[in-house]
Structures are given as C-alpha cells and as structure tokens.
A and B are shown apart, each in its own frame.
Chain A
Amino acid sequence: MRRRGATVPVTKATASEPHLPSPTQAPTRPRSGRRHRPCFVSMATGGAGPAPNITRCGKHAARGTAPRSPRSGLSPEGRWSSPGHVQICESPQSPSRRTRPPSRWACFAFGGSGLPRPRRPDRQRRAWPRALAPLREPPLDQAAAALPRSPRLRPAPSGRLSGRAKPRLPEGLPRPQPGDPKGAVAGGGSAPGRAEAWREVLPGQRAGKMAAPMELFCWSGGWGLPSVDLDSLAVLTYARFTGAPLKVHKITNPWRSPSGTLPALRTSHGEVISVPHKIITHLRKEKYNADYDLSARQGADTLAFMSLLEEKLLPVLIHTFWVDTKNYVEVTRKWYAEAMPFPLNFFLPGRMQRQYMERLQLLCGEHRPENEEELEKELYQEARECLTLLSQRLGSQKFFFGDAPASLDAFVFSYLALLLQAKLPSGKLQAHLRGLHNLCAYCTHILSLYFPWDGAGVPPPRQTPAGPETEEEPYRRRNQILSVLAGLAAMVGYALLSGIVSIQRATPARAPGTRALGMAEEDEEE
C-alpha cells in the first residue's frame, strides 16, 4: 500500500500564504459542526487546544486552511494509491476545481456518484496547486519543517487498537500534549524522507509504490443491506464513508476468506487482518480516516459511545439474531443456509450459533444465573434504554458529529440497520427502534446515500414471501411431470428389456401367434 510520504499540511496558512503554512494559523480554523471528509491533509494544529492534530489522509485533496473548504475530490495519493480502483476525476493539477463538486464523488472507487457530501470551502483546492506544484519540495519541506506533524503520520504502534470490538480512538485523533511534541518531532525528523516518498508518489502512479489494492472479504448482502453481518457491515460502511479504494469481495463462504473468518482485509502487503477494529485502524493508517475532523472531546465521545453500543446493544443483537429461536430459524439460519455452498450449509450456521451463544453467555450470563426470561427482559430493557440514549444524542443532526459521518456513525449504523431492515418475526426491539424516528431516518439516510444500489435491492427482497413460491411453481410442476415421465420411461424400458413385454412389429394376423411366441420366449427365459 502506498505510504503517503508526507501529507501536505494544509492549514489555514495556505489561504494567505501559499508557501508557509504556519502552525500558528492552523489552530484558529473555526471548527464548525461540519466535518471534513477524509482529506489528505494534515491538520497541523500545533498546540491549539481544541483543534485536533490529525492528519487527514484520504481520498481528498489537501485541504485548505480556513473554514472548511469543499473537498476537492480524491487526493493525489488516494487516487494514485490504487490505480485499479481510483478514477481520477479531476486532473490534480487543475487549480480551479472549486466549481465541480459533483465530480468528487465520481472518483469513488465504488463508482458512487452524486453523493451529496457537504460542500466545504475550497481549502484543499487552494492547497492543491501548492501541493502539486511541479516542484513540490519547497512547500513540503517548509511545511514539514514548520508544522508539527500530526500523530497520524507517525507509524501507528501496531496492535494498538486491537482486541475485540472495542471502541478505539481513531489513530489520528488529537493527542493531547504528550502527543504533539512527539508528532512534531517525528514529523520534523522524517519529513524529508516523507517528502521524498511523497514526491515519488505524487507525480504519477508509480506502480512500484502502488502495490495490490486492499481487498475486503465480507459477507454478502441480504435483507436490503449490503451485508448481513454486523462486523462486515460496519467495515463496509466505514470504507464507504472514507472512500477507501477497497476491492470488496462479497462472499458467502467464510472458508474462502484469507483468514477463515469474515470480515477480513487483505492489505496491499498481503497481510490479513480480521478483527473489525483492526481493519478500521489499518484504514486509518492508510489515511482513510473518517475522524480526522473530530475535536478531542468528540473523539472521547466516540470511544464512550462505542463502549455503550458494545455493552448494551451487542448482546441484544446477538440474542435477537442467533439465540431467539424463531428469529434464528426463520431468518438467520435460513439466510446463511441458503447462501452458503454445499456442504457448509449443513453445519456452519449451527456452529456459528453455538459460538454466538457462548459469547452471549460470557458477556452477560456469568453474573445472572437467573432463568432466561429474566435475562432476556433485562437485556432488552437495557437495549431500549441504549437506543433511546442514542436517539437523544443524535437529536436532529444528520450524523453524530455534525454533517459528516465518522467511525461512530459506521458502527451505529451497522447495529441499527440490521435491527431495522431484517424482517424478524419476533422483533421486540425493532418495534421500539421504529418508534425512534430520528434513528430510522438516520439509517435510511445513510443507506440511500452510501449504498444506493444495495438499497435499491430492498423492494424485491421485501417481496420474497410471495416471490419464490410463485417462481417455484412452474419449476415444481415441471419437475413433477418430468419425474413421472422418467419413472414411466424407466418401467417401460425395464419391461421391454427384460422381455416382460415385447413389441412385435408383426402383422395383425400373426399377432396372437407372436404374442404366444413372445410368451413362449418369456417362458423359456424364465
């Protein structure tokens, strides 16, 4: 995977001075409620309190300094990182990209177009000419030397955000005082090297740097969703939010994924990551960070709310889909058994169920030895509370942190979408969720915005109860007729071959004789 050698520190300074982004200006960028989409710029926010010191690296161009500039589309690096998947929508060198917001979206690897991301001021556009000037060295070096590098540029400590689906602060989230000097030092020290690499990368799609694109293996879609599995859905959504150029393999056979489980990400170095949080960490490391624009407080909130989701909603989701008998038999197992190839469909769903049940047991069963009913009621009550809390927190905003989605939105969406979309026979939580209108609107909004073609598949699946039966009708009839005919043919053929019945093409006069002859032969044979 290409490493961005150096992200262009696009700060507010670029607005005023194309060459010298000064650290002092960066922090004063007003932090409005809107967030930048992942951009390729490093927000060098020096020591200024609230502004996060995050590099946003991503598909968008380096941002400009001041108030949010509209994302100008994929960053050069983003584009060039995976030649197979990124279409360069605008020529990087054109400075006048401000007038073409829609084309940004054409650049998504998934071909999504017209996604109405909020427009931002032309911060990055302004930065682009500077960044992509023929000789990029001066701004880079100056920038690199001048600005404290955001911690994003530091190679993330491996395994830092590992573990179960625990909320993790995004890599690039603002680090407080301890982080900044480190970032600065790291940035300053390795800036020349990064600039070198960046320069090498930018001028064209150096195939050497652009190794294989990242591949994501995940469960395929169903029930109107791009994926039926919670983790896969979360990772997919995050990838969509950030526009990471992933090659998505939607498969139904977990044994075909490189790690044996789904979701799994194969990075461009061939490494395979299978824990969802680690996948997202990796994407962040690759500069596809949906959280670059969050303030410190919002980053902390992300962590807290992800904890809340995991503690309260996850057990209930597991229970709803895998433990509740009716749901399991009619929805989950049915889908998985139909989707998986032979012979996995016989034993894998059952095995998955056992794993989930055990997980649920360990999550909440250890201190509640009461009977299942009580446990269930309690779980559902907590989940309802959690949903209400989420609804209150979301309020009337479009996303949890303003106008642009963050990683928290990816996770919340995956939980809520599964609850909302799957047609569960016993959906107690579904009913409660449907009552929370802002959450429903939130889900449909994200679905229609980021997964339009998958969402378009919603109506047909909704008709599945009637559909398959009518479709099967002609086949069933035909199969019945065919089987009867085959049986008849077999019997007649056996009769003829064994001589029980023989067909003589003799003259009618000799018919009785031949018949007698036939019977005589039969007697002889017997």
Chain B
Amino acid sequence: MSLVAEAFVSQIAAAEPWPENATLYQQLKGEQILLSDNAASLAVQAFLQMCNLPIKVVCRANAEYMSPSGKVPFIHVGNQVVSELGPIVQFVKAKGHSLSDGLDEVQKAEMKAYMELVNNMLLTAELYLQWCDEATVGEITHARYGSPYPWPLNHILAYQKQWEVRRKMKAIGWGKKTLDQVLEDVDQCCQALSQRLGTQPYFFNKQPTELDALVFGHLYTILTTQLTSDELSEKVKNYSNLLAFCRRIEQHYFEDRGKGCLPQHGLPRGAMSAPRI
C-alpha cells in the first residue's frame, strides 16, 4: 500500500471495531494449499488468536488471485482486504490491538530482525523445497497446485508459478544451492531461533508476539506436513525447545479455544500428498 493509502486505511480501520464476520481466505486445505502458503496462513491465524480476535477461515481455490498482493492469506475485515502478516499486524494495530506494545525499542528491533530471518530462511527454504526440488515438485507440488483447474490449465499454471519461483531463487542466489545446503540453512535458522528462545515460554518472555505467531506457523507446518522425505522436519525436531514451543502455542491458542483450525492434535504428521484425482 502506498503511504497515503496506508494512512487512510489506518484512519478508517481505527474507526471501526473488529467485526464478528472477519474472514481469512486461503487455498483449499485438503487438495491445493502448499507448504509455504499453509505456514503463512497458520501464522496469521495464530496471530489473530493471540490477539483474541475472531476469524473465520474460508478456503477458496482462487484465493491467490483474490488477494490484493497476490499472496495468501488475506483477511477480509469490514470493507477492507489486507494480505500478508506484516500489513495485517499493522492493520490490527490500527484497530487498537497489539502484541508488541510492551517491548522496548531494542526488543522491537530484534523482533523485526528475527521475523526477517524466518522469512528469509525458512520461507525461502520452503519455497525452494516446493518448487526447485525435483522430487517434491513432481510428486506433490504440481499436482496440488493445479488441482482445482481442468487440463491443460493445471499444468500451465503450475509451470508458470514454478518458473517465477525459480527466477526469484536465482536472483537471490539460491538457484545453485543443493537440497543439502538448503537443509543446512534451515538447521542454522532453527538453531538461531532455538538459541534465542532458550528456555523462555515465548520469544519475549511472558507474552507472545507476532514473532511467535510467525515461527509457530512455519514450524508447525513443517513438522506436520508429510513430504517426500522427512529431512526438513527432522531438522526442526532436533531442537526440543522449539517443539515444546509449538506444542505450547497449539495447546494454548488452538485447542483451548476449541477452534479446530489445526488439522490435528498433538503434532502428528499430516499428509500433504497429491490429491486423489
């Protein structure tokens, strides 16, 4: 959003309270959604749960195209549509709910930095795995991504998306990486997160913040999604405090509220396999 538009939206947003019928749009959970999108969607859901804001999850096949920025998830609140975690956090803040108000400047800087770290490493690794690793692409991604569409659209869209993602990977230098290197990066990222988390319940001690939501979204998805190989989740499982962290958030914010947003209980492995056609 431009600055002017943003200010305008903030003004409008501040005027109205959070409605009851706020909805979050994502792709079809069972057949279409991919690892990275699922992670992002879960992060937003976790964030809204932490803020105690009710949200309804609606799955649409064309969610990606409905979104104003092309990324899922996006929320439809009142008469505004906001996509991606960053803008959603700001939007929610304009409405008067914020998780990071209690942090001082240095902590806010750290929080932003760690969020960038997760986006930079975990998200990119997920994208790489989905779109640049041949095994996963062939078995899972292509089939899932194009599943709502008839032939030949499903192939065309899938290849187009793959080409875009690969271009981006090349631009940021991940094009030449092997899967092992990517997994190493994931490991490093998890290690950094684990070290930062330490023994605290949340990253900034007592209260969760958007960083916790983001990390939860990604880690939970990685842990509970079954891909062609288990290496990615194994990397995360090495860090017990991260596992405990995920469990804690899941219990506290998802099970307690009775919202069945999460696919399973207790971090079992979900299946992200090719849809049965």
Tell me the A residues contacting B by CB distance below 8 Å: 157, 159-169, 174-176, 178, 275, 296-297, 299-301, 303-305, 307-308, 310-312, 358-359, 362-363, 366-368, 370, 374, 377-378, 381, 385, 389-390, 392-393, 395
User: Assuming A166-B185, A299-B192, is B173 touching A307 (CB within 8 A)?
Assistant: no
Contacts of A160 in B (CB 8 A): 181, 184, 188
Contacts of A381 in B (CB 8 A): 3
Contacts of B119 in A (CB 8 A): 307, 311
Verify B192–A310 contact, CB threshold 8 A: no
Instruction: Give the distance in Å from the alpha carbon of A161 to the alpha carbon of B116 in the complex.
Output: 18
User: Assuming A308-B112, A378-B3, is B192 touching A300 (CB within 8 A)?
Assistant: yes
Q: Which residue of B lies closest to A393 (CB)?
A: B109
Verify B188–A163 contact, CB threshold 8 A: no
- The binding surface of chain B is classed by DSSP as helix
* Least CB distance, A180 to chain B, in whole angstroms: 13
Q: Does any Cβ of A come within 8 Å of B256's Cβ?
A: no
Q: Which residue of A lies closest to B198 (CB)?
A: A297
Contacts of B176 in A (CB 8 A): 162
Instruction: Give the distance in Å from the alpha carbon of A424 to the alpha carbon of B226 in the complex.
Output: 51
Verify B191–A275 contact, CB threshold 8 A: no
Instruction: Give the distance in Å from the alpha carbon of A374 to the alpha carbon of B4 in the complex.
Output: 10
Verify A300–B195 contact, CB threshold 8 A: yes
Instruction: Give the distance in Å from the alpha carbon of A395 to the alpha carbon of B105 in the complex.
Output: 10
Contacts of B198 in A (CB 8 A): 297
Contacts of B116 in A (CB 8 A): 304, 307-308, 310-312
Tell me how many residue pairs across A and B have CB atoms closer than 8 Å. Answer: 123
Contacts of A390 in B (CB 8 A): 109
Known: A312-B116, A393-B113. 10 other contacts (CB 8 A): A164-B173, A167-B120, A176-B194, A303-B117, A303-B121, A303-B188, A367-B70, A378-B1, A378-B2, A385-B112
Complex interface bits, B171-202 against A, C-beta within 8 A gives 1, otherwise 0: 11110111011001100110111111010000
Instruction: Give the distance in Å from the alpha carbon of A299 to the alpha carbon of B195 in the complex.
Output: 9
* Least CB distance, A303 to chain B, in whole angstroms: 5
Contacts of A169 in B (CB 8 A): 188, 191-192
User: Assuming A163-B177, A301-B113, A304-B113, is B171 touching A359 (CB within 8 A)?
Assistant: yes
* Least CB distance, B17 to chain A, in whole angstroms: 28
Contacts of B2 in A (CB 8 A): 370, 374, 377-378
User: Which of B109, B167, B171, B173: most chain A CB closer than 10 A?
Assistant: B109
A-B contact pairs, 8 of them (CB 8 A): A159-B177, A163-B185, A165-B173, A169-B192, A176-B191, A374-B2, A377-B3, A389-B108
Contacts of B277 in A (CB 8 A): none
Q: Which residue of B lies closest to A375 (CB)?
A: B2
Q: Which residue of A lies closest to B199 (CB)?
A: A49
Instruction: Give the distance in Å from the alpha carbon of A377 to the alpha carbon of B108 in the complex.
Output: 22
Q: Which residue of B lies closest to A297 (CB)?
A: B195
Interface size on B, residues (CB 8 A): 44
User: Assuming A160-B181, A166-B185, is B171 touching A300 (CB within 8 A)?
Assistant: no
* Least CB distance, A397 to chain B, in whole angstroms: 11
* Least CB distance, A455 to chain B, in whole angstroms: 28
Instruction: Give the distance in Å from the alpha carbon of A378 to the alpha carbon of B7 in the complex.
Output: 13
Contacts of B180 in A (CB 8 A): 159
Q: Which residue of A lies closest to B211 (CB)?
A: A304
B121 in complex: contacting residue of A175, A307, A312, A378, CB < 8 Å: A307
Verify A362–B238 contact, CB threshold 8 A: no
The 4 closest A-B pairs by CB, nearest first: A164-B173, A300-B192, A362-B171, A304-B113
- The binding surface of chain A is classed by DSSP as helix
Complex interface bits, B40-60 against A, C-beta within 8 A gives 1, otherwise 0: 000000000000000000000
Contacts of B192 in A (CB 8 A): 169, 299-300, 303-304
Contacts of B110 in A (CB 8 A): 301, 304, 393
Verify B106–A395 contact, CB threshold 8 A: yes
Verify A176–B181 contact, CB threshold 8 A: no
Verify A311–B191 contact, CB threshold 8 A: no
* Least CB distance, A167 to chain B, in whole angstroms: 7
Instruction: Give the distance in Å from the alpha carbon of A511 to the alpha carbon of B114 in the complex.
Output: 98
Q: Which residue of A lies closest to B120 (CB)?
A: A307
Verify A389–B109 contact, CB threshold 8 A: yes
User: Assuming A297-B195, A303-B192, A307-B120, is B113 touching A157 (CB within 8 A)?
Assistant: no
Verify B195–A296 contact, CB threshold 8 A: yes
Q: Does any Cβ of A come within 8 Å of B269's Cβ?
A: no
Contacts of B265 in A (CB 8 A): none
User: Which of A164, A168, A304, A311: most chain B CB closer than 10 A?
Assistant: A304
Instruction: Give the distance in Å from the alpha carbon of A168 to the alpha carbon of B177 in the complex.
Output: 14
Contacts of B173 in A (CB 8 A): 163-166, 275
B106 in complex: contacting residue of A157, A167, A275, A392, CB < 8 Å: A392
Instruction: Give the distance in Å from the alpha carbon of A168 to the alpha carbon of B188 in the complex.
Output: 8
* Least CB distance, B231 to chain A, in whole angstroms: 15
Verify B105–A392 contact, CB threshold 8 A: yes
Verify A362–B172 contact, CB threshold 8 A: yes
Q: Does any Cβ of A come within 8 Å of B155's Cβ?
A: no
Contacts of A374 in B (CB 8 A): 2
Q: Which residue of A lies closest to B177 (CB)?
A: A163
Q: Which residue of B lies closest to A390 (CB)?
A: B109
Verify A297–B184 contact, CB threshold 8 A: no
* Least CB distance, A59 to chain B, in whole angstroms: 26
Q: Does any Cβ of A come within 8 Å of B248's Cβ?
A: no
Q: Which residue of A lies closest to B192 (CB)?
A: A300
Contacts of A297 in B (CB 8 A): 195-196, 198
Instruction: Give the distance in Å from the alpha carbon of A296 to the alpha carbon of B106 in the complex.
Output: 18
Q: Does any Cβ of A come within 8 Å of B168's Cβ?
A: yes
Verify A175–B109 contact, CB threshold 8 A: no
Q: Which residue of A lies closest to B174 (CB)?
A: A163
Instruction: Give the distance in Å from the alpha carbon of A164 to the alpha carbon of B124 in the complex.
Output: 12
Verify B238–A178 contact, CB threshold 8 A: yes
Contacts of B188 in A (CB 8 A): 160-161, 168-169, 303
Instruction: Give the distance in Å from the alpha carbon of A312 to the alpha carbon of B112 in the complex.
Output: 11
Instruction: Give the distance in Å from the alpha carbon of A157 to the alpha carbon of B178 in the complex.
Output: 13
* Least CB distance, A362 to chain B, in whole angstroms: 4
